[in-house]
Amino acid sequence: MPYHANVIRIFIASPGDVNDERRVIREEIHEWNVRHSERERTVLLPVGWETHATPEMGERPQAIINRQVLVGCDLLLAVLWTRIGSPTGVAQSGTIEEIQEHLLAKKPARIYFSSRAIPPDLLDYKQRGALDKFKARCRANSVYDTYSTLEEFRSKLNRHLAIDIPNLFPNPWDAPKAQLGETRLPPPTATLSERAIMLLKKAAMTDDGQIMAIQMLDGYFVQVGNENVARACEGREKAEWKAALSQLERNGLIEAIGYDGDAYEVTAEGHRLADQL
């Protein structure tokens, strides 16, 4: 059964030596969705440069990733183990630049350091030294976490997501709590424009609950009952009224009853919501 949900984009930041951890993050995000999504009305979306960036020229590679992918994310999860990564021209590495840009945007970030044993063939003393310095800076200015096995990382991430998501991203659909499986509308201010709310309230107060939207020679008209709420509209104003009707229809608050899409009627769900406005 469909339900409204808040989509939280989680950016996965790391150098190339923690592919197993990147896989675990995606698996745990999927597990969170299976267990909590319907009840919390929230969906977590894992985001990474390798899955969401597209080819482009004209800028630094990291700047393109930042603009295409990072800027739209809500939470950042960073994982580091043996290396810090390659310089970007702005920061020590892509991972560091991603963390810095995300924090500058006043968005939350979570950093994990692996303490797993490092195989000799993976040990790069220069990279390790740079990583240790970054870890020391994090120790002085933040709270990070460590893990020694993938299973420990999985367990900690599972627990942290369970704590962080409800606290960082309160459910906007959450007043009042609906029964599991019940389709619930978000608060009108979250999905409806002021015009849409006004149309719904006026139409719900009429005897027939109808809205007429008609294109005439001299412009676009919207009528509710005996009142013309929009007269001879063109251009942007016409587009705004049509968008308001689309919002109401898309949310199941009105339904089309005219053959030409020029007449609408408030649904039972629309009347219930109008009573709360």
User: 256 pLDDT exceeds 90?
Assistant: no
Q: What local confidence, expressed as pLDDT, does residue 273 receive?
A: 86
Q: What local confidence, expressed as pLDDT, does residue 50 receive?
A: 92
Q: What local confidence, expressed as pLDDT, does residue 178 receive?
A: 45
User: 274 pLDDT exceeds 90?
Assistant: no
Length of the chain: 277
Q: What local confidence, expressed as pLDDT, does residue 115 receive?
A: 94
Phi then psi dihedrals of residue 199, to 5 deg = -60, -45
Phi then psi dihedrals of residue 75, to 5 deg = -140, 140
Q: What proportions of the chain, in percent to the nearest 5, are helix, strand and coil?
A: 45, 20, 35
pLDDT digit string, tens, across residues 176-206: 444 444 545 455 445 678 888 889 999 999 9
Q: What local confidence, expressed as pLDDT, does residue 189 receive?
A: 44
* Domain 188-276 of CATH type 1.10.357: no
Confidence of residue 10 (pLDDT cuts 50, 70, 90): very high
Phi then psi dihedrals of residue 43, to 5 deg = -125, 130
Q: CA–CA separation, 53 vs 65, rounded Å?
A: 6
User: 270 pLDDT exceeds 90?
Assistant: no
User: 73 pLDDT exceeds 60?
Assistant: yes
* Domain 6-168 of CATH type 3.30.70: no
Q: CA–CA separation, 266 vs 252, rounded Å?
A: 9
- One-letter amino acid identity for 269? E
Q: List Cβ neighbours of 88 (8 Å cut-off, separation of 6 or more).
A: 60, 61, 62, 94, 97
The chain-wide mean pLDDT, for the chain, equals 88
Q: What local confidence, expressed as pLDDT, does residue 258 receive?
A: 64
pLDDT digit string, tens, across residues 219-239: 888 899 888 888 888 888 888
Structural domain boundaries in the chain: 6-168, 188-276
- One-letter amino acid identity for 139? R
pLDDT digit string, tens, across residues 108-132: 999 999 999 999 888 889 999 999 9
Q: What local confidence, expressed as pLDDT, does residue 218 receive?
A: 80
Q: What local confidence, expressed as pLDDT, does residue 228 receive?
A: 86
Confidence of residue 172 (pLDDT cuts 50, 70, 90): low
Residue in the block written with tokens 């995000």: 29
Four-residue CA torsion sign, 94, 100, 101, 103:
positive
